[in-house]
């Protein structure tokens, strides 16, 4: 797992490490790693133009020392000092190496940034001419909206033609959550020190970080239990069930799927397809007449039970997990099916229309067997009575709240898919793709996750693996939901066979 931490956890680990080192040694380690990445991005250091955006904290010091190393190798380095204070030793090192510094201290009551100050034209010209802009304005302690001159510098850096490299986290991004409130630096790459920060893995922060690269500065022995974790290909491959010599269809898992309605037949077809393409031993599908006909025509492998109006799933046969809800509807007949499935003694995945039904009666979730819910932000809003906009803005906070309050495993879909279980690190899926934002892909995900539940994975692991596989299957867009389902066997096969080259996280470096 790629473990990640909050800013408080990182600061505590840094303090413990610094107590064992000579003064300044930790900053020199960080600056050396930063300078190496800067040189790599520049291609050739000699003759290049580098602009440092420097705040008053340690990130500003890191940027100044890295800038000194680049200046000593022949780069033209200009530091724009945006804070009311500056790391004096770092600034002196930069000047000794031939770098230059300009102070930016507009009247804090004016509301204007450096572009509106008398020196604004020079600031803009420096940024526009830079081959590389190094954002060292704020570090992991930054919270809330950027103040001036940081906000204006962030906008100017984003508009400049050169590449932008963020130090530890992009300024304006909350290191602990990924939240942004107002302008924030949008980096081409981020160098983060010691350990991953949660805010680099969760949108919108991950979208601002670009390619993220970790520089080891020795924090490992001092880190606590992680705040969050992002599964890697190796993690998912290790969790995936594999058939053995003695396997049969029952040992590989039997999943029941209660989905579809006279109005929404396609959801049943897609959910069954997701389960079958994941390699489950058997699918038992239960539904009303019209989706039954569609599933039978598309998936002859499925064992099908036609339900009469108001009938439950008692006669379907033995299953090891249920998928409940895609296209089910929310009327009385759907409610009867939902009650019947949720009264069973096996794990249940609750999706789509079934989430609406349990939002109307949360007592349905109080059961001895595990429950995995797979909402988007709007569905979670109804379940925990939090406005959708707040859930979108504070995804980590609210997925944790839902897992604790409802007593279930939560897979929160969205630009960053999160998997939460009470008192465990939130898992962050690194393989999501905007190509998955098309109708029916959630039904495929439900079938896929249900198949993994039936094969014996916990809700936490089934949700994590399903999100990872689903994200890879959707990367080669544009695809329909059917195309995503059809891609799953090759994705699973490649992971199990150890062919990892297809599956690195899209926004994270080595």
Residues at the binding site for (6S)-NADPHX are: 58-62, 139-145, 150, 168, 267, 327, 376, 443
Residues annotated as binding site? Answer: 58-62, 135, 139-145, 150, 168, 171, 267, 327, 376, 413-417, 442-443
Residues annotated as binding site for AMP? Answer: 413-417, 442
Crossing angle for the helix pair 481-497 and 266-277, nearest 10 degrees? 10
3-state DSSP of 168-220: CCCCCECCCCCCECCCCCCCCEEEEECCEEHHHCCCCHHHHHCEEEEECCCCH
- What are the C-alpha distances in Å from 51 to residues 33, 76, 153? 18, 8, 11
Q: How many CB atoms lie within 10 A of CB 233?
A: 21
At residue 101, the 3 state secondary structure works out as strand
> Could you write out the DSSP letters of every residue in 301-358?
TSEEEEPPTT--STTS---SEEEE-TT--SSHHHHHHHHHHHTSSS-EEE-THHHHHH
Containing 11, the helix (H) or strand (E) segment is helix 7-18
Quick check: 494 and 476 in contact, CB under 8 A?
A: no
- The whole-angstrom separation of Cα 105 and Cα 128 is 21
Containing 418, the helix (H) or strand (E) segment is strand 418-420
- Which residues touch 195 (CB under 8 Å, ≥6 apart)? 3, 4, 5, 10, 13, 214, 219, 220, 223
Report the sign of the C-alpha dihedral through residues 109, 111, 117, 120, in that order: positive
Q: Residue 79, Cα to own-chain centre: how many angstroms?
A: 33
- The whole-angstrom separation of Cα 202 and Cα 143 is 16
- What are the C-alpha distances in Å from 155 to residues 162, 242, 243, 302, 445? 13, 50, 54, 55, 38
Crossing angle for the helix pair 25-42 and 58-72, nearest 10 degrees? 50
Residues annotated as binding site for K(+)? Answer: 59, 135, 171
> Could you write out the DSSP letters of every residue in 429-469?
-S---GGG-STTHHHHHHHHHHHHHHTT--HHHHHHHHHHH
Strand-strand pairing, 348-350 and 228-230: unpaired
Phi, psi of 61 (to 5 degrees): -65, -45
Quick check: 252 and 307 in contact, CB under 8 A?
A: no
Quick check: 456 and 415 in contact, CB under 8 A?
A: no
> Which letter does DSSP use for residue 146 in this model?
P
Q: Could you tell me which of 205, 158, 157, 30 has the C-alpha nearest to residue 38?
A: 30
Q: Could you tell me which of 403, 359, 363 has the C-alpha nearest to residue 411?
A: 403
Q: What is the dihedral of CA 508, 433, 165, 212, to 10 degrees?
A: -10
């Amino acid at each position: 797992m790629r473990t990640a931490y909050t800013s408080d956890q990182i600061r505590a680990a840094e303090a413990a490490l610094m107590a064992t080192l000579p003064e300044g040694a930790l900053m020199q380690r960080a600056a050396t790693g930063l300078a190496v990445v800067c040189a790599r991005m520049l291609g050739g250091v000699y003759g290049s133009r580098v602009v440092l955006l420097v705040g008053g904290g340690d990130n500003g010091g890191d940027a100044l020392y890295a800038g000194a190393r680049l200046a000593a190798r022949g780069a033209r380095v200009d530091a724009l000092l945006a804070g009311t204070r500056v790391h004096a030793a770092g600034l002196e090192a930069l000047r000794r190496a031939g770098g230059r510094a300009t102070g930016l201290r507009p009247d804090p009551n004016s509301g204007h940034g450096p572009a509106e100050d008398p020196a604004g034209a020079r600031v803009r010209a420096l940024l526009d001419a830079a081959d590389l802009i190094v954002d060292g304005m704020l570090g992991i302690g930054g919270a809330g909206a950027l103040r001036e001159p940081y906000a204006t510098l962030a906008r100017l850096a984003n508009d400049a033609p050169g590449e932008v490299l963020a130090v530890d986290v992009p300024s304006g991004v909350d290191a602990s959550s990924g939240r942004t409130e107002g302008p924030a630096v949008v980096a081409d790459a981020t160098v983060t020190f010691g350990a991953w920060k949660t805010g680099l893995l969760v949108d919108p922060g991950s979208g601002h970080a670009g390619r993220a690269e970790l520089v080891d500065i020795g924090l490992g022995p001092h880190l606590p239990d992680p705040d969050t974790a992002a599964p890697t290909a190796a993690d998912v491959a290790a969790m995936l069930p594999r058939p053995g010599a003695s396997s049969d269809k029952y040992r590989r898992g039997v999943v029941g799927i209660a989905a579809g309605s006279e109005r929404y037949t396609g959801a049943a077809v897609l959910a069954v397809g997701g389960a079958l393409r994941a390699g489950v031993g058997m699918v038992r599908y239960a539904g009303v007449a019209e989706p039954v006909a569609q599933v039978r025509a598309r998936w002859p492998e499925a064992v099908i039970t036609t339900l009469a109006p108001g009938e439950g799933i008692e006669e379907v046969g033995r299953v090891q997990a249920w998928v409940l809800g895609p296209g089910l509807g929310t009327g009385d007949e759907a409610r009867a099916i939902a009650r019947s499935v949720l009264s069973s003694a096996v794990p249940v995945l609750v999706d789509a229309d079934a989430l609406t039904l349990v939002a109307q009666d949360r007592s349905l979730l109080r059961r001895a067997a595990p429950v995995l819910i797979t909402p988007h932000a709007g569905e979670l809003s109804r379940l925990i009575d939090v406005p959708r906009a707040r859930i979108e803005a504070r995804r980590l906070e609210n997925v944790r709240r839902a897992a604790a309050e409802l007593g279930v495993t939560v897979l929160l879909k969205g630009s960053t898919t999160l998997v939460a279980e009470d008192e465990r690190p939130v898992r962050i899926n690194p393989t999501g793709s905007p190509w998955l934002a098309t109708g029916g892909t959630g039904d495929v995900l439900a079938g896929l996750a249900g198949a993994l539940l039936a094969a014996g994975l916990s809700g936490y692991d089934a949700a994590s693996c399903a999100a990872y596989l689903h994200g890879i299957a959707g990367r080669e867009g544009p695809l329909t939901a059917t195309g995503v389902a059809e891609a799953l066997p090759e994705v699973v096969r490649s992971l199990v066979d150890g062919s990892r080259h297809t599956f690195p996280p899209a926004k994270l470096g080595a």
